[in-house]
């Protein structure tokens, strides 16, 4: 099968097309012919070796972390899917590789594609939609009337998180650039702070939840807009000890993660708020819940641009250089 893969880390030019063996299909797997996959910042971090301490992949590695496609084979123990089903998924972190013609995915990580979406639209959703769900529903337990701040509201994660927070009944604020304020308002944000003109820290106060995808100074300022008891959940900040436990990391890595997040956790404690790091997980059951919101019109994908599969490296460059105007970049195998 045709793929885009890497043979070594930290080699931007090393992302290349290559023929690889077709996947082996286990008893609980579905084999999916991929119609479209989307590009995520996670793909860039994996390519550059930034995550090799916590995700020790064996090279060569096929990149790609979410997909939409058609089931072409099912394992002997599969009960939820049949050949011909149109599905979407974020494979488990140990089984990535959606920049390819085929992938074998455990049935627990797959969901039927929303009937209202094209393959390209569906492929843009799994990773960012699951991240939004796990942050806002599972970890923050957002309730109607609570105040939620979403950073980078026009980004791949932000566009979905804004809509999910609104669907949960929250009062939603988001940050965005001048050119994207109207888009983020159209997605449902009650307040959009133009970060080129205003500092969100000076205009937002007493928030219950912040979803941070930027880290650094933005994360530090986010602690200050929370009310006592509030939560900041970050996908870009320093990993913490809880994440190390989730990974079942060794003692040295646990100590390292505790040290990396120490200053942030200390600042949070002083303000009587909490900080946690989120690395999303695959989950077909959660995708099915999100499908209901999508088909009800409460969440819609935002696709910036679609590249043909043979331009996958160019698609990754488009994301890396910040050329995407809003939402996700998708590659299509059609």
**Which residues form the domain of 311?**
2-125+301-332
Quote the number of domains for the chain: 2
Which range, of 52-66, 165-179, 244-258, 301-315, averages the lowest pLDDT?
244-258
Q: What is the CATH number of the domain that holds 83?
A: 3.90.180.10
Q: Are residues 73 and 150 in the same domain?
A: no
Q: What is the CATH number of the domain that holds 270?
A: 3.40.50.720
Confidence of residue 265 (pLDDT cuts 50, 70, 90): very high
Helical segments of 24-123, H only:
41-48, 119-123
Q: Are residues 133 and 250 in the same domain?
A: yes
Sign of CA dihedral 7, 8, 10, 13: negative
- 289 found inside a domain: no
* Partner residues linked to 209 by β-bridges: 148, 231
pLDDT at position 330, please? Answer: 98
Average pLDDT, the chain: 96
Q: Are residues 213 and 312 in the same domain?
A: no
pLDDT at position 186, please? Answer: 98
- DSSP per-residue codes, 207-266: EEEEEESS-HHHHHHHHHTEEEEEEEEESSS---HHHHHHHT--HHHHHHHHHHTHHHHH
Q: Are residues 181 and 53 in the same domain?
A: no
Confidence of residue 67 (pLDDT cuts 50, 70, 90): very high
Q: Are residues 173 and 80 in the same domain?
A: no
Q: Are residues 136 and 265 in the same domain?
A: yes
Q: Are residues 152 and 269 in the same domain?
A: yes
């Amino acid at each position: 099968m045709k793929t885009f893969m890497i043979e070594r880390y930290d080699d931007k030019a090393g992302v290349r097309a290559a023929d690889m063996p077709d996947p082996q299909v286990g008893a609980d797997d579905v084999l999916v012919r991929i119609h479209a996959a989307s590009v995520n910042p996670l793909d860039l971090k994996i390519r550059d070796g930034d995550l090799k301490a916590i995700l020790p992949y064996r090279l060569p590695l096929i990149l790609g972390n979410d997909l939409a496609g058609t089931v072409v084979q099912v394992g002997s123990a599969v009960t939820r899917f049949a050949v011909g089903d149109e599905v979407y998924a974020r494979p488990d972190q140990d089984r990535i590789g959606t920049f390819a013609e085929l992938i074998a995915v455990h049935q627990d990580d797959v969901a039927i594609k929303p009937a209202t979406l094209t393959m390209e639209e569906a492929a843009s959703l799994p990773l960012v939609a699951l991240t939004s769900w796990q942050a806002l529903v599972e970890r923050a337990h957002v309730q109607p009337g609570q105040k939620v701040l979403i950073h980078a509201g026009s980004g791949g994660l932000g566009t979905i998180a804004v809509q999910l927070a609104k669907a949960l009944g929250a009062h939603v604020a988001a940050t965005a650039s001048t050119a994207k304020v109207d888009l983020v308002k159209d997605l449902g944000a009650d307040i959009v702070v133009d970060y080129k003109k205003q500092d969100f820290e000076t205009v937002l106060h007493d928030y219950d939840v912040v979803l941070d995808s930027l880290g650094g100074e933005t994360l530090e300022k986010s602690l200050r807009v929370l009310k006592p008891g509030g939560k900041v959940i970050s996908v870009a900040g320093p990993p913490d000890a809880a994440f190390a436990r989730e990974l079942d990391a060794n003692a040295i890595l646990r100590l390292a993660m505790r040290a990396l997040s120490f200053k942030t956790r200390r600042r949070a404690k002083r303000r009587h708020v909490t900080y946690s790091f989120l690395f999303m997980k695959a989950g077909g059951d959660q995708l099915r819940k999100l499908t209901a919101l999508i088909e009800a019109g409460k969440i819609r994908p935002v696709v910036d641009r679609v590249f043909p599969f043979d331009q996958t490296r160019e698609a990754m460059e488009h994301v890396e250089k910040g050329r995407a105007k809003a939402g996700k970049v998708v590659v299509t195998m059609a």
